[in-house]
Structure 1
Amino acid sequence: MPSTTISRQTDSDQTSSIRAGLASSRPVADQPPSVPLIRLVRAEFRKLTDTRSGFWLLIVIALGAVAGTITTAALWDELAGMLGDWTTGDALISFVPTMLLPVLAILLVTSEWSTRSALTTFTMEPRRGRVMAAKAIVVIATTVVFWLGCRGLTALSALLGGAMHAGAPVSWQVDWAATAGDLASTVLTVAMGLTLAMLFGSVAVSIVVYMAQPLMTSTLALIPGLATAMQWASANNMSLLASGAMTGEAWARVAVSAGIWIVIPAVAGTVLSIRREIK
C-alpha cells in the first residue's frame, strides 16, 4: 500500500509539472494587443486642447508671444541699441512661452491623476511606459513648434520695427550655435517640468518645485560651504546653451544640472508612474 500511494503521488506530480509546462508555453491571450505609438501620441495631442486648463494655457502662451512681438516692434528704436540684430526681441517674445510650456507639460502628465482618467488610459494601454513616452513626444513636439513660432515672431518684430523706425537698422546675421543652443535650452527647461510631474504626480507640488527652484538654489547658496554646489546644481545652468560659446566647464554645468533636474526625476518618475496606484 505505501508503494502504491507513493506511485500515485509521483504520477500526480508529473501530471502537474506537464500541465504547468504546457501553460507556460502557451501565448498569453489575456494580454491586450499593443496600441500603436502614433495613436497614443494623437490621443495625447488631443488632451492638450480637450481640457479647459490646457486650452486656455495655450491661448495665454500664444497671446503672450504676440504681445511681446507688438511691444518689441513699438520700442524697436530703443531696443535695437542693445543688440542691433533681429534677435533683439527674442527674450521678450519667448518669455511667456518659456515660463508656461513647462506648466503645460505638468498638466498633461498629472491630468491622468487629477481628472481620474488614468483608469481609462491605462485600461486601453496597460503598458504605462508607452503612455509616458507618448506624453514626452507630445511635449517636445509642442515645445519645438512654439519655439519656431517665437523665432518667426522675433523676425517679424524686427521687420516691423525696422520699417517703423528708419533710424534703427536691422542686422539679419544668424548665430547658428546660439540658435541651436537656445532650442536645446528651451527643450530641457520644458523636459524639467515633464519629469517633475512624473516624479510627484501632483499639479500643485510639481508647479511649486518648478517655480521655486531658482529661489531655492539661490537661498541655499547663501549657506557657507554650499555656494559652489548650488551653482552647479542650479537649473539655470541649462540656459548657458543659448550663449553659443560653450566651454568645458559650461558643458559640465549643463550636464550636472540636467542630471539632477531631468535624468534622475525621469528615472524615478517612470518607476513611480508605472507602480502608482489608480484610485
Structure 2
Amino acid sequence: MPFTRWVHLELRKSVDTLAGFWLLVVIAVLLIMIEGFFLLVGLTSDDAGLSFTIFTRPMAYVLQPMVATLTIMLVTSEWGQRTAMVTFALEPRRSRVLLAKLVAAFTLTLALIVVLLVVATVCAAMLGAVDGSSFEWDLGPGDVVGLVLFEAIAVLVGFGLATSILNTPGAIGAFPVIAYAIPSGLGLVGLFWEDFRSVGRFLNLQSSTNPVLTWSVDSGEDWARLVVVLLVWAAVPLVLGQLRVKHAEVK
C-alpha cells in the first residue's frame, strides 16, 4: 500500500471515532471563542498599541496541549481500541505506520494553525476597522514560522510520550507534567538553589521553546537550551517509543 494512503487512513481515523471527531470540534470552537474574547477586549479597551499578535501568540499556548493530545490519541488509539493487530497485519513494518501517524499529526496541526490564522485575521480586520489608526498588523513570516515550529515541538513531545507509554490517559497526563509541572518545579528549585538555576533552564520545555514562538532565538545559549530540551523531551522518548512499538506484543 502506498505511504500516502496510510497517511490518508490515519487522517480518517482521527475523525472516524467519536473521541477524535469531537476533540477537533472542541479545539475549533475553543479557538473561535477565545479569539472572540480577545476581539471583545480590544473593542472595549481604550489602550492604544493593539496588534495582530494579540490574536496569535496567546492562542499558541492554548493550542499546544491540544495538538499534543490529538497526536497522542492518533498513536494510542491503536492499542486502546485493539485495532493494532489489523493495522500491523496489513503493514508489518511498524515504523512505517508510526511515520504515517506522525505525518498525519503534523497535517492536522497545520490545519488547526490555518484555522487559527483565518479566525485571527477576521478578528483583527474587525478590530482594525474600528481602531485602524493605532492597530498594528505586525505578523510577519517569522512569526508564522515560529508558530508552526512551536506547535511542531508539541507534536513531537506528544508523539514520543504516546509511543513510549502506549496508553491514552497515561500519555495525556504526562504531557502537562513535562510542559507545566516540571518547568514550575525547576523554577521553584532555582529560587532556593542559585547554582541549579542555569542547569534547570536546559530542562525547562516552556522557557526554552518560547523564543521559537517569538522568533527570537538569537544567542548561543538559546540554541543550546532548545537542542537539549528537544533531545530530552522529544528525541529520547521517540527512540524509546520506536523500540517499544517494534517489540510490543500485539493483542
Fold-level similarity (TM above 0.5): yes
The answer on 1:252 being equivalent to 2:224 is yes
The answer on 1:107 being equivalent to 2:69 is no
Q: Distance in 1 between matches of 2:160 and 2:67?
A: 13
Instruction: Describe how 1:1-279 pairs up with structure 2 within 5 A.
Output: 35-77=1-43, 81=47, 84-163=50-129, 165-166=130-131, 169-213=134-178, 214-223=180-189, 224=193, 226-236=196-206, 237-247=208-218, 248-279=220-251
Range with greater deviation from structure 2 (243-252 or 91-100): 91-100
Ranked by relative contact order (alpha carbons within 8 Å, sequence separation 6 or more), the top structure is 2
Q: 1:202 to 1:244 in 2, by over 3 A?
A: same
Q: Which runs of 5+ in 1 are unaligned?
A: 1-34
Q: Distance in 1 between matches of 2:126 and 2:11?
A: 33
The alpha carbon displacement at 1:220 in A equals 4.3
Q: Distance in 2 between matches of 1:187 and 1:154?
A: 20
Q: 1:93 to 1:241 in 2, by over 3 A?
A: closer
Q: Would the aligned equivalents of 1:76 and 1:168 in 2 still touch at CA under 8 Å?
A: no
The secondary structure found in structure 2 opposite 1:249 is helix
Range with greater deviation from structure 2 (225-234 or 55-64): 225-234
The secondary structure found in structure 1 opposite 2:52 is coil
Q: Would the aligned equivalents of 2:162 and 2:168 in 1 still touch at CA under 8 Å?
A: yes
Q: Distance in 2 between matches of 1:222 and 1:93?
A: 26
Q: 1:128 to 1:83 in 2, by over 3 A?
A: farther
Q: 1:39 to 1:50 in 2, by over 3 A?
A: same
The alpha carbon displacement at 1:245 in A equals 2.0
Measured against aligned partners, the alpha-carbon deviations of 1:53-86 in whole angstroms (never above 9, x if no partner) come to 1111000000011112221222214568475222
Measured against aligned partners, the alpha-carbon deviations of 1:25-70 in whole angstroms (never above 9, x if no partner) come to xxxxxxxxxx211111111011001111111100000001111222
Q: Distance in 2 between matches of 1:127 and 1:177?
A: 38
The alpha carbon displacement at 1:174 in A equals 3.2
Range with greater deviation from structure 2 (39-48 or 238-247): 238-247
The secondary structure found in structure 2 opposite 1:269 is helix
Q: Percent identity between the aligned chains?
A: 27
Q: Would the aligned equivalents of 2:67 and 2:151 in 1 still touch at CA under 8 Å?
A: no
The secondary structure found in structure 1 opposite 2:224 is helix
Query: Could you tell me which amino acid in structure 1 is paired with residue 19 of structure 2?
Result: S
Q: Which runs of 5+ in 2 are unaligned?
A: none
Query: Could you tell me which amino acid in structure 2 is paired with residue 106 of structure 1?
Result: I
Query: Could you tell me which amino acid in structure 1 is paired with residue 228 of structure 2?
Result: V
Q: Which runs of 4+ in 1 moved over 6 A?
A: none
Q: Would the aligned equivalents of 1:238 and 1:258 in 2 still touch at CA under 8 Å?
A: no
TM-score, normalised with respect to structure 2: 0.89
Q: Distance in 2 between matches of 1:88 and 1:78?
A: 15
Q: Distance in 2 between matches of 1:79 and 1:99?
A: 29
Range with greater deviation from structure 2 (208-217 or 196-205): 208-217
Q: Distance in 2 between matches of 1:121 and 1:82?
A: 56
Measured against aligned partners, the alpha-carbon deviations of 1:213-251 in whole angstroms (never above 9, x if no partner) come to 221242245444543332211111122201222222111
Greater fraction of residues in helix: 2
Q: Would the aligned equivalents of 1:177 and 1:245 in 2 still touch at CA under 8 Å?
A: no
Q: 1:167 to 1:124 in 2, by over 3 A?
A: closer
Range with greater deviation from structure 2 (211-220 or 198-207): 211-220
